[in-house]
Amino acid sequence: MPDPGFSRPQPSLPAAAARPHIHTHAAGSAAAGEALPTKSPLPGPPSVHAGEGAAAVRPSSPAELRHANPAVVTQSSPALERILRGPSGLGTTGLHLARREEVPVPAVSPEPEAPDEGKPIPGLYHHPVPEPDPARVEEVSRRIKAWAVDEVEMYPPEWEDQFDGFSTGRYMVACHPDAPTVEHVMLAARLMVAENAVDDCYCEDHGGSPVGLGGRLLLAHTALDPLHTTKDYAPGWVESLGSDAPRRAYRSAMEYFVQKATPSQADRFRHDMARLHMGYLAEAAWAETDHMPEVWEYLAMRQFNNFRPCPTLTDSVGGYELPADLHARPDMQRVIALAGNATTIVNDLYSYTKELKSPGRHLNLPVVIAEREGISDRDAYLKAVEVHNDLMHEFESESAAVAAACPVPSVLRFLRGVAVWLDGNHYWHQTNTYRYSLPDFW
């Protein structure tokens, strides 16, 4: 088993001293283009009251909210367009929700991350997305590799193919089409890579194990949620943050994130990561005792061992904030949970054959349904597709209900951002034929 510490530990700098500076590389960063598309089919007539901050734009159906998704828009709504574009005129630059930089095209382009066309799962309810901006994909791919190699020494040379095959750039650009700059996308990209380093190196197939996982996860969590202790005991903790790749990655990715995010966005992220770690622990505990959960128990575990921390930072990556009190609304929490669950079951379905081949018994929804409900692998897989579709439909209708109940711009944009993230996540799973292949059930 490779050692997740890989190379030498980083010097034990206090976190603040080690804080990196963000370079936005904003060639023509002065609003080279609008962050958001200029078309949306949200129905009129919305009322936009100058000075109220809460413009009323009511989608009248889940489909309409869905189509406010910048990645799939087909019609126009001047009001939503106006809200998303922000005010215009002298002195209003700082009021824009988001402006989008243009990425300079290098004179000699490195090999782009061209997707091999994978097929979508037959019958899976999803929304196709346009091909992510190739210039952005290339730039995020370049920056994320430089970060992983040079800043956090994340993987040994023999893992380079797997790192490249993950296609972080294509993934994150597809999930965050409204990010105003490449550096905003990088906030999500670093965290995505760090989360996968922890999953692979602590929990799964790159040296991970359920044994002792709780201790490892808790200590790694302190890279996100720092230890506050006495001066005698602080240095040991600071040193530990550089002692393996997952902790170096968490610490660095979080340092970049807190520089751009508001305190409440950072706190939201820490909470979501604590949820994720709790999910990893339940999965590990069941692996240790060879427990086959009931289907509902599996779904409960997977609600925590879940992509949730990724879509919930859509506002930080978009350069705006969903205020904490609106994020905390029970109806918003339900939308977020449904979104996380649907998008995580997408992983269970696309990674099904990969997980069947992995050592031991890897739990995923089709496997648990087959075992617990005594049906064939094929029927269980098709039933898991239905579970996913039900979750997606529920997510969309609850999302439209929140939009109608609380039609403020940050809520609408956040809901759209979450929906777009789900579409991008599906796109990435579908097209990542390096990692995933479909079973032969059709």
Q: Are 314 and 414 in contact (CB under 8 A)?
A: yes
Report the alpha-carbon distance of residue 425 to residue 62 in Å, rounded. Answer: 20
Q: Which stretch binds ligand LYHC5SXD (CB under 6 A): 101-109, 189-197, 392-400, 401-409?
A: 189-197
For ligand LYHC5SXD, give the closer residue by CB, 62 or 309.
309
CB of 351 to ligand LYHC5SXD, least distance (A): 3
- Binding-site ranges for Mg ion (CB under 5 A): 347, 351
* Residue corresponding to tokens 């000075």: 51
By CB under 6 A, residue 196 contacts ligand LYHC5SXD: yes
Query: What are the structure tokens assigned to 142, written together?
Result: 């370049």
For Mg ion, give the closer residue by CB, 79 or 346.
346
By CB under 6 A, residue 377 contacts ligand LYHC5SXD: no
- In the beta sheet, which residues pair with residue 100? 33
CB of 364 to Mg ion, least distance (A): 6
For residue 409, is the peptide bond before it cis, meaning its omega torsion is within 30 degrees of 0?
no
CB of 113 to Mg ion, least distance (A): 21
By CB under 6 A, residue 301 contacts ligand LYHC5SXD: no
What is the pattern of x (binds ligand LYHC5SXD, CB under 6 A) and - over residues 303-322? --xxx-xx------------
For Mg ion, give the closer residue by CB, 347 or 431.
347
For Mg ion, give the closer residue by CB, 343 or 351.
351
CB of 347 to Mg ion, least distance (A): 4
Q: Are 53 and 406 in contact (CB under 8 A)?
A: no
HEC letters along 286-353: HHHCCCCCCHHHHHHHHHHCCCCCCHHHHHHHHCCCCCHHHHCCHHHHHHHHHHHHHHHHHHHHHCHH
* Residue corresponding to tokens 């609408």: 412
CB atoms within 10 A of CB 360: 10
HEC letters along 48-81: CCCCCCCCECCCCCHHHHHHCCCCCCCCCCHHHH
Within 328-347, the residues that bind ligand LYHC5SXD by CB under 6 A are 344, 347
By CB under 6 A, residue 195 contacts ligand LYHC5SXD: yes
- Quick one: what does residue 344 bind among Mg ion, ligand LYHC5SXD, none, with the CB cut-off 5 to 8 Å set by partner type? ligand LYHC5SXD
Give the helix ranges, DSSP H, for 152-294: 160-166, 168-175, 182-198, 213-221, 234-240, 245-260, 263-288
Within 243-282, the residues that bind ligand LYHC5SXD by CB under 6 A are 276
* Residue corresponding to tokens 């002298």: 90
Query: What are the structure tokens assigned to 189, written together?
Result: 């990209």
For ligand LYHC5SXD, give the closer residue by CB, 18 or 285.
285
- Which positions lie near ligand LYHC5SXD, rule CB under 6 A? 192, 195-196, 199, 276, 305-307, 309-310, 344, 347, 351
